[in-house]
Structure 1
Amino acid sequence: MPKYVYNFTEGNKDLKDLLGGKGANLAEMTNLGLPVPPGFTITTEACRAYLRDGREPDGLQDEISQHLADLERAMGRRLGDPADPLLVSVRSGAKFSMPGMMETVLNIGLNDESVHGLAKQAGGNERFAWDSYRRLIQMFGKTVLGIDGDLFEHAIDEVKRAKGTTSDLDLDADDMRALVDTFKGIVREQTGKDFPADPREQMNLAIRAVFESWNAPRAVLYRRQERIPADLGTAVNVCAMVFGNCGMDSGTGVAFTRDPSTGQQGVYGDYLQNAQGEDVVAGIRNTMPLQELERIDKRSYDELLRIMEILENHYKDLCDIEFTIERGKLWMLQTRVGKRTPAAAFRIATQLVDQGLIDMNEAVTRVTGDQLAQLMFPRFDASGHTPIAKGMNASPGAAVGKAVFSSERAQELAAAGEDVILVRRETNPDDLGGMIAARGILTSRGGKTSHAAVVARGMGKTCVCGAEQLDVDLENRRFTAPGGVVVNEGDVISIDGSTGAVYLGEVPVVPSAVVEYFEGKGDTSDELVAAVDRILRHADSVRRLAVRANADTPEDAARARRFGAQGIGLCRTEHMFLGERRKLVEDLILASTDEERQAALDALEPLQRRDFIGILEAMDGLPVTIRLIDPPLHEFLPDLTELSVKVALAGEQASEKDRRLLEAVKRLHEQNPMLGLRGVRLGLVIPGLFAMQVRAIAEAAAERKRQGGDPRPEIMIPLVGAVQELEIVREEAERILREVGVDALIGTMIEVPRAALTAGQIAEAAEFFSFGTNDLTQMTWGFSRDDVEASFFSRYLDLGVFGVSPFETLDREGPGRLMRIAVDEGRKTRPDLKLGICGEHGGDPDSVHFCHEIGLDYVSCSPFRVPIARLEAGRAACAAAGSDTR
């Protein structure tokens, strides 16, 4: 029978899969000799068994009883003993941090009898005991019994109103005792049952609630957002309670070993006197800076700083720490590698290298392409703009949008294409959907460790929190800023997550310092730019994958080169047929004789040649893969319905050209263009089309050579499904290349499943493969992206059919499997076969790792994603060499 329960003394930080992050780190701190309250962890295996079978696994209750008895012996108290009660917390703890998404219940073991024993323990502090009891009923009612939490909040507000106060601290023991009675009445009214008085029943129900919270809607949504696997389950941590709400010599706080917003070393965090931990992260009461603790309790402050140094040196990273002080005694309740902003991630990684704690390979794995992408977002140019308020710079970025005051409204407007800023007094886990939908988050309460700040940093979402100057009126959907400035729902505001400033109206943006650096204008004396430069240089030095760009114009090609591209992996020639040139394509389609067709081709050729000259010049000395025309010709013609209406309305007055165009549109119209007359099929059906393009490429290369350049064109034949198609086009292309006197590789785009399955044959005629993973995904799944993304993808994500859209990240088991086959069989036929990817997946971090894994030579992506792909290719190499990717 598997072991389902571990004491904190039995685990370590490497057992996160089994004990979850919280349990593994509690065990690690216990092993380090730090002051951790005793407790035990119920494993993720137990959770998975419970969720799979709908009941606790056999033997679990016996193990819990054994470990509870050990805990009672260690503490010298029994759970819920009326005279001298042991109280425990029951807290979730998945492998990956999911702040606030699952359940926690504190003060388990309290009832009408043991509350008096708790008051006695606290030296007769009746207020503390009854406050702890009302907290238990409130948390238990909401998280375990599923009661609307607002019912409890409204009851507290009523008591405060009657007392003439807005602070919980002004409520005395009698007020708390009355709240307990009120809360028990709410439980009875909402559930039809009394609040459970038996301490063991409380604990068992709380454990099951934590298991079940793994599949709560907000947890599912958060996992999807953060791409956390759905089958991990959560551990449950049962820990002896220590109390921060015993009086003003007690309190609770959250500390960071470095600033999670900037990465700067120092003392960062929040502290609340006479409070329990949930008060800090909920943002209900505004906290004081952690430095104030030195004045309040210097002994505990000094010990905390000592422990913070121990933990950072031990974990070799920024640590996020939760602690409680109980009547002057410091207790450590949690530590984890802390979430940090992208800027902080890059700075901290290089700082730790300079401190000798990690090497550069590890530094590369400590940052991500997604974080680098966020650093490339624009920033505000606030000159001439005066903020209406200022809060804490919780998560950087420049966000502009309409102010909205509920999660539901944020999601509604965002779905309609509107940019929104979610404004709340404080956020809670139920606001997650709105937080994801919003461009930014603004709260009037809470510090840098509040729910809003922690979740926003994790998502890379702009956040300003604790803007106390704002009077947020949720009922009337507005807030009032100093000076009487009123912002109603729908008004546009701008929030600066780097400074904490809040502006009325839209503030203009300018390029980020990181983008200016990539453009060659940046100043590497800037600490952040220097960190990005240093990490990218190392990533470039270790990566095996080359990084090219998808670029169709000389301007895009030049930018891609500035951003570090090592060539072009996809130049789409059909983009050169748009605009004014569309008429020439119409002439080609309408041609009824060989002479008319050739005249249209002759008119297009010099235009294409000129484009190719510019692109080859921008990428001089680097490979440029040029894809011959791929989409069906009807895409260059007017819409069938619109043209039909136009001709019908004109009647006999319709022009001959419009009539011929309508006939051509009807002839070329396809029910599913993705599977019709396109790609290599066009080249075989329309004589001279591909020959014109090849000649334009060859003559452009010849012209560049005459100019002293070093052109390296590669000709890519799209949509090949049979080697015979490629052989026919290749023969004609080679003839033209010989005539012009230019060399060029000839290869194909693997985007049809049959091409992947017959790659060994196709490699006989191809010198390179480039995987067109957008079409390969569509054809493997059997759906058209344009038709299905809006219709059922959200439902498939909800049902778990997709963990993430297969158009965002490569589906390794479907198209990825076909790619593996093509790589293996292609290289068996032609060992020097060059392999790359040019679909949009080429810039997706997870897909880049997959491309490294299967042995591709390069990835290709849009110019702005080139730095991201460079970094991820380096991370893939470091991970393969054995570094721990976090």
Structure 2
Amino acid sequence: MAKYVYDFTEGNKNQKDLLGGKGANLAEMTNLGLPVPPGFTITTEACRHYLAEGAVPDGLDQEVAKHLSALETVMGRKLGQADDPLLVSVRSGAKFSMPGMMETVLNIGLNDESVHGLAKQAGDNERFAWDSYRRLIQMFGKTVLGIDGDLFERALDALKGERQDTELGAAELQRLVETYKGIVRERTGRDFPTDPREQMRLAVMAVFDSWNAPRAILYRRQERIPADLGTAVNVMAMVFGNYGDDSGTGVAFTRDPGSGRRGVYGDYLQNAQGEDVVAGIRNTIPLQELERIDKHSYDELLGIMEALENHYRDLCDIEFTIERGKLWMLQTRVGKRTAAAAFRIATQLVDQGLITMDEAVMRVTGDQLAQLMFPRFDEGADRKRIAKGMNASPGAAVGRVVFSSERAVELAGQGEDVILVRRETNPDDLAGMIAARGVLTSRGGKTSHAAVVARGMGKTCVCGAEELDVDTAGKRFVAPGGVVVSEGDVLSIDGTTGEVFLGEVAVVDSAVVEYFEGAEPADDLVRAVDRIMRHADGVRRLGVRANADTPQDAARSRRFGAEGIGLCRTEHMFLGDRRQLVEELVLASTAEERRSALDKLEPLQKSDFIGIFQAMEGAPVTIRLIDPPLHEFLPDIVDLSVKIATSRDVTDKDHRLLAAVKRLHEQNPMLGLRGVRLGLVIPGLFAMQVRAIAQAAAEVPGARPEIMIPLVASVQELEAVREEAVRILAETGVEALIGTMIEVPRAALTAGRIAEAAEFFSFGTNDLTQMAWGFSRDDVEASFFSRYLELGIFGVSPFETLDREGVGRLVEIAVREGRAARPDLHLGICGEHGGDPDSVHFCHEVGLDYVSCSPFRIPVARLESGRAALSGGDSDTR
């Protein structure tokens, strides 16, 4: 029979697929001899079976009973026994950390009898026992029974008034327990379950079910965590931080997860259980204060932190409880960190000899690098600071204030930048946090829910701004000095300093962008980026080119590290004042008129190409001949018709233009007369462009043009254009590769034939995705993509990350058959996917020679190309 339950002594940190991250690391700490309360883990396999079949697998109940019995033997007491109860916690733990997204229930085993036994166990501490009991009913009611958690919170708030929860006495907490039991009875129609084993069984099922809770699904989609992993369940003997002031709970980091700097970082809360810290319901104290409160536990904790960091060779995030002076480790994991911290820590660990530079490159991601390139506030700009909190997650965020997750989603959907303001966030705020530019809370520390989730998402966050009196119901907050900020007002928050400013603060380029623009590394962060980028460049196989249409973009792309241009779109050169010349070409009724229009365009095109060749300094430049339908360069048919019908200033040209627009009008122009079809239908158009390219290349020493024919679906189309292009190149004595953009599914499926006439392929995955899916991108993204994401049809938009199963399959076919026909065929990608981390890994895996992307994505593509070379086939870009 399959084994579904493992004691903490049986596993290790390499079993995250089976035991989840939390269970694997609890086993690892147990094996290291650290003080971990005993317990056991129910595997992810059991969860997957439960979710698929609607029932736990055969034998699971018996395994759980066996391990519970062993736990009772170790602890010397039985679950929930009246006079001396064993209590346990039931906690989720998936392979990848999903902070706050799934369920936890503490103090399982308490009922009206065992609560008295717990009080005796604690030295007749009645207050502690009733506090633990009310916590059980509150967590169980919300998590397992699905009762609105606000009902319990309101009852607690009404009882304590202006006091802290720690100031409530035993009699008051006993009354609160009765109130909570009444809420359960009223909302469910049945009494709170008092059988300890029934409590545990229901809690385990609730943790399984929470894998598919809406917030967990949303978080997985945001973090691209596979939906089929399931969660493990950890059952652990309770240790109590709410005994009194000699007890407490905390979260510690072996380095600052915000900056990466070494030191003592974390939060501690006396007389509390773990959920109090992450929920931010009471403001914590800095971890350093623990040295004054309990030096013995503090020193022991620091020793364990150092041991764990050296063992895991990374920043560790640790949860601990102190029970009457005894330190217990409840969890460790490789901690989430900001982008800046990720780069700093990676190079620090190299310098400490804990990891290699190869490993350092694998410890950071292209997405993190992109975050470091976001603008920062201009220190010289006018700004009115109204508050300061904790710098929980760096960045500069500006937006309109909103006080609910729902409003954040609504306004962001309308294109507004918003700042989500809350007293504290909870997992139900995830959608609003994703939608917002930044998050501001008046409560909580650097380990609160808001801080942890924001850091994981790279979202700007300021926490614990205690000076702010936040009134979410009234949709306003009051800052010191009587400053009132209402919903809709503009706010700027600095997650690097923790400062909050009224109004919009100007932003400037980040120091990392300045470095890529050519500045010397200015600080330790930029020096860390420089080291990692240099190593990534040294190990990558993929080349990185730029999508650039102007000399300015070409020059910037070179500064950012581009090794050439993979897509220069010539249609962008026909806009502005030149649109008039395109109109002349369209209106030409004779060969002479057409030649005249082309002759006027040719020197302008030549000038453009000279500037680009000069900026690229001998690097290859792939120039796509005109692609869009000609009607895009003409007046709108409706506007022109209205002008002719209503204006007195109508000219003969207007009538001719309208006739031309009607003649060129297509029901679906993106599948009509465009690309190679234009070159074949309008004599001289492609010849003019090839001639301009050749003449420009002849004037720029070292120029390396590559001519790309767009939208080819048949080798005969390519052969017809190629023949003319070869003749023109021969006349000028210029050498240039001639190839095609693979953007039509038929081209991918007949790549072997097309390669006979093409010296290179460049995959235009934007159009290839549209045609493979049958989507018009301009129409569908706003209309139903959000619904497709909700239904799980997409994990991520296929226009954002390459669809490996469909579009990727077409690319693989084209690569294989193209190279079989022409072994020296050059292969690249020039769609937007060229700058997407996961897509870059795919391009490496299928054997492309280069990726091409917008100038600002070039550093990301360089880094991810290096990571792809080091990944050994693992394309996980998280």
TM-score bracket, normalised by the shorter chain, equals: over 0.9
Percent identity of equivalent pairs: 82
CA distance in 2, matches of 1:641, 1:186: 64
User: In structure 2, what is the Cα distance between the partners aligned to 1:881 and 1:355?
Assistant: 28
Q: 3-state DSSP class of the match of 1:880?
A: coil
Of 815, 830, 841, 1:849 maps to 841
Matched, 1:863 2:855: yes
Distance 1:648 1:71 in 2: 88
The TM-score with structure 1 as length reference comes to 0.98
Confirm or deny that 1:354 pairs with 2:351: yes
2:542 aligned residue: 545
What is aligned with 1:400?
Answer: 398
Q: Quick check: 1:770–1:838 contact (8 Å CA) kept in 2?
A: yes
Question: Partners of 2:656 and 2:190 in 1: how far apart?
Answer: 78
Provide the C-alpha distance between the structure 1 equivalents of 2:308 and 2:174, rounded to a whole number of angstroms.
40
The residue type equivalent to 2:654 in the other structure is: D
CA drift of 1:582 comes to: 0.8
- TM (normalized to structure 2)? 0.99
* Cα drift, residue 656 of structure 1: 1.7
Indicate whether 1:442 and 2:434 are aligned. Answer: no
**Are 1:608 and 2:605 an aligned pair?**
yes
Gaps of 5+ in 2: none
Q: Encode CA deviations 1:84-137: one digit per residue, 9 max, x unaligned.
A: 111111111111100000111000010000000110110000000000000000
What's the offset of the Cα at 1:386?
A: 3.9
Q: Distance in 1 between matches of 2:113 and 2:668?
A: 73
Deviation at 1:438, TM superposition (A): 0.4
Contact 1:34 1:332 in 2 (8 A): yes
C-alpha separation between the residues in 1 aligned to 2:634 and 2:522?
53
Q: Match for residue 515 of structure 2? A: 517
Q: Does 1:12 align with 2:9?
A: no
531-540 or 784-793: bigger deviation: 784-793
Give the drift of 1:166: 2.9
Per-residue Cα deviation, 1:829-849 (whole angstroms, up to 9, x for no partner): 111100000000000000000
Alignment-derived partner of residue 714 in structure 2:
722
632-641 or 801-810, larger mean C-alpha shift: 632-641
2:688 paired with 1:697: no
Once residues 660 and 642 of structure 1 are traced to their aligned partners in structure 2, the CA distance between those partners, rounded to angstroms, is 15
Distance 1:390 1:13 in 2: 39
- Counterpart of 1:78 in 2: which secondary structure? coil
Q: Tell me the distance in 2 between the aligned counterparts of 1:697 and 1:237.
A: 66
Residues 637-786 of structure 1: matches in 2 within 5 Å?
Answer: 637-650=634-647, 654-704=650-700, 709-786=701-778
Deviations, residues 415-443 of structure 1 (Å, cap 9, x unaligned): 11111100000000000011001000000
> What do the CA deviations read for 1:494-537 (whole angstroms, capped 9, x no partner)?
0000000000011111110000011112x324100100000000
Secondary structure (helix, strand or coil) at the match of 1:809 reads coil
**What is the distance in 2 between the residues matched to 1:614 and 1:767?**
25
2:501 to 499, 503, 510: 503
In structure 1, list runs of 5 or more residues that go unmatched.
none
Q: State the match for 2:375 in structure 1.
A: 378
The equivalent position to 1:556 in structure 2, one of 544, 553, 557, is 553
Q: CA-to-partner distance for each residue in 1:532-577, whole Å, 9 max, x for gaps?
A: 0000000000000000000000000000000000000000000000
Find the partner of 1:193 among 190, 195, 199: 190
Question: Is the Cα contact below 8 Å between 1:382 and 1:507 reproduced in 2?
Answer: no
Is the 2:365–2:877 contact (alpha carbons within 8 Å) kept by the matching residues of 1? no
Q: Please point out which of 592, 596, 602 is paired with 1:595.
A: 592
CA contact (8 A) 2:845 2:873 kept: no
Aligned to 1:46: 46
The answer (yes or no) to whether the contact 2:838–2:875 under 8 Å persists in 1 is no
Aligned ranges 1:193-212 → 2 under 5 Å: 193-212=190-209
* Aligned-partner Cα distance in 2 for 1:659–1:315: 75
Equivalent-residue separation in structure 2 for 1:756 and 1:701 (angstroms): 31
User: Which AA in structure 2 matches 1:776?
Assistant: L
Counterpart position of 2:465:
467
Show structure 1 runs of 4+ deviating over 4 A.
881-886
Tell me by how many angstroms 1:382 deviates. Answer: 3.3
Alpha-carbon contact 1:365-1:883 (below 8 Å) kept: no
Letter in 2 for 1:470: L
What residue is the counterpart of 2:492 in the other structure? 494
Tell me the CA shift for residue 881 of structure 1.
8.1
Q: Is the Cα contact below 8 Å between 2:842 and 2:875 reproduced in 1?
A: no
- Verify the 8 A CA contact 1:362 1:883 in the aligned structure 2: no
Structure 1 Cα separation of the partners of residues 495 and 797 of structure 2:
29
The amino acid that maps onto 1:114 is S
Give the whole-Å Cα distance in 1 for the aligned partners of 2:717 and 2:79.
Answer: 77
Offset, 1:673: 1.8
Question: Do residues 36 (structure 1) and 36 (structure 2) align?
Answer: yes
How many residue pairs were aligned?
877
Contact 2:89 2:108 in 1 (8 A): yes
SS at match of 1:564: coil
Asked if structure 2 preserves the Cα contact closer than 8 Å seen for 1:116 and 1:129, the reply is yes
Contact kept? 2:838, 2:877, Cα under 8 Å = no
Matches within 5 A, 1:617-632: 617-632=614-629
**Contact 1:362 1:884 survives alignment (8 Å):** no
Any residues of structure 2 matched to 1:118-137 within 5 Å, and which? 118-137=118-137
RMSD: 1.1
Aligned partner letter, 1:672: N
Query: What are the Cα deviations for residues 344-387 of structure 1, in whole angstroms up to 9, with x where unaligned?
Result: 00000000000000000000000000000000001001334241
Task: Name the SS for the 1:183 alignment partner.
Answer: helix
1:662 is displaced (CA, Å) by 1.5
Q: Deviations over 1:436-464 (max 9, x none)?
A: 01000000000000000000000000000
Report if aligned partners of 2:260, 2:342 keep a CA contact under 8 Å in 1.
yes
CA distance in 1 between partners of 2:874 and 2:583 (Å)? 56
1:98-247 aligned at under 5 Å gives the runs: 98-161=98-161, 165-247=162-244
Shift of the 474–225 alpha-carbon distance from structure 1 to 2, 3 Å rule, reads same
**1:879–1:885 CA contact under 8 A, matched in 2:** no
Say which SS state the counterpart of residue 765 (structure 1) adopts: coil
| SS at structure 2 position matched to 1:503 | strand
**In 2, distance between residues paired with 1:665 and 1:689?**
19
**Is 757-766 or 654-663 further displaced after alignment?**
654-663
2:335 corresponds in structure 1 to 338
SS in 2 for 1:48: helix
Deviates more, 1:660-669 or 1:21-30: 660-669
CA distance in 1, matches of 2:142, 2:529: 45
Residues in 2 aligned to 1:93 and 1:863: alpha-carbon distance in whole angstroms: 40
Q: What secondary structure, in the 3-state scheme, does the structure 1 residue paired with 2:353 have?
A: coil
Name which of 451, 455, 461 aligns with 2:453: 455
Q: Give the secondary-structure state (helix, strand or coil) at the position aligned to 1:803.
A: coil
The aligned amino acid for 1:84 is D
Measure, in 1, the Cα distance between the counterparts of 2:645 and 2:159.
Answer: 74
Query: How far apart are residue 160 of structure 1 and its match?
Result: 1.1
Answer yes or no: is the 8 Å Cα contact 1:361–1:883 preserved in 2: no
Write the distance in 2 (CA, Å) between the matches of 1:671 and 1:146: 52
In the aligned structure 2, how far is the partner of 1:468 from the partner of 1:77? 43
